[in-house]
Copies of this chain bind each other. A is one copy, B any other.
């Protein structure tokens, strides 16, 4: 079977909006075992929408369309749908009750325009939209002894996502009787894609044929997604989990979590479990570690705060770094980063503290300490440890890699 995605919207064709909907839908379909053969973006114009539907019908069994719905865009798209599916608009009681219900919650009066929104093509199955007034629509169209399934969803991600996940994908699975699919994503930090692929090469080459591996790299992180397909869900789950267990034995020092885990959430969970508190002292990361930690709701329960010491004077006065160390070893050194971490721990009266000092770039590098040179220190109730890294070029990347590395060092100490 062939599957394709069509995105309708002028905003996508002038570069105003990046087509994240299509990527997200492709990813969800892929996770459900469907391969997307094509993505097409067309403007809010009748003839363009009609053409692309016609073309899609010729080649695909399932066509997922987003956009072109909602009070301001309905007119064009619905007219095209009636023409393409040879039908007419009829007033849909259920859809109208949805609109009334939603407007009541928002305390807004239903207008004639909203009433018109409840007029839907007669020969489709409508799909409830829990977050909006425009229902999804599902059409089956037969041509040349073959059926094509067309699904129309609103373009607002917040409305589209539950429609796709709760209604559309389950129905596609039922209709196209896919085998069972099982995914597990192993998250790693502190190792690049190419080195990682070398050390897991043998394991990867011995994976059974029904399990595939995808490398999904991000700055500072590489995600490894295992996807298994099989007839029996339980056997498949056991089989994939056994491969995951073997993988973890090879890379225990880089593994930090599964699937959607985030380091800043994991360390929050571990700190709460221990009833422990944390503070940070940041130089090169300039507040980015604090930003990650405080992006988690409820982080004030374990995070006391930070001193961002962007000058030697602040390192000395606020964190108690000795002038001698600053002069003798420089700000980017083992001694200074340890003193920073110990200083903030004492000052803020916390159990754990992290400190960073490095040359984020693009300026400030020397032959001895090139751009990317970074020290990270952690102080625990028992000890102080500092480690050195050489990350590379790119200010943003260096800041991000340092922050993730620091959070992972903390995670390991908390375990």
Question: Inside 8 A of A38's CB, which chain B residues have their CB?
Answer: 13, 40-42, 48, 52
Interface centre among A38, A304, A310 (most CB of B within 10 A): A310
Name the contact of A293 in the complex, choosing from B23, B30, B42, B286 (C-beta under 8 A).
B286
Question: B297 contacts A305, CB within 8 Å?
Answer: no
Question: B311 contacts A304, CB within 8 Å?
Answer: yes
Q: Give the top 3 A-B pairs by smallest Cβ distance, nearest first.
A: A15-B27, A286-B294, A287-B290
Identify the A interface with B (CB < 8 A). Answer: 12-20, 22-28, 30, 35-43, 48, 52, 55, 214, 216, 280, 282, 286-291, 293-295, 297-300, 303-311, 313-314, 318, 347-349, 360-363, 395-396, 399
Question: A295 contacts B286, CB within 8 Å?
Answer: yes
Question: A27 contacts B14, CB within 8 Å?
Answer: yes
A-B contact pairs, 24 of them (CB 8 A): A12-B23, A13-B36, A14-B36, A15-B28, A18-B20, A18-B23, A19-B39, A22-B41, A39-B41, A40-B40, A40-B41, A286-B294, A287-B289, A287-B293, A287-B294, A287-B308, A291-B291, A297-B361, A297-B363, A304-B310, A305-B307, A305-B310, A305-B318, A313-B349
Question: Inside 8 A of A318's CB, which chain B residues have their CB?
Answer: 305, 307, 347-348
Q: Which residue of B lies closest to A293 (CB)?
A: B286
Min C-beta distance of A359 to chain B, whole Å:
11
Min C-beta distance of A55 to chain B, whole Å:
7
Q: Which residue of B lies closest to A283 (CB)?
A: B305
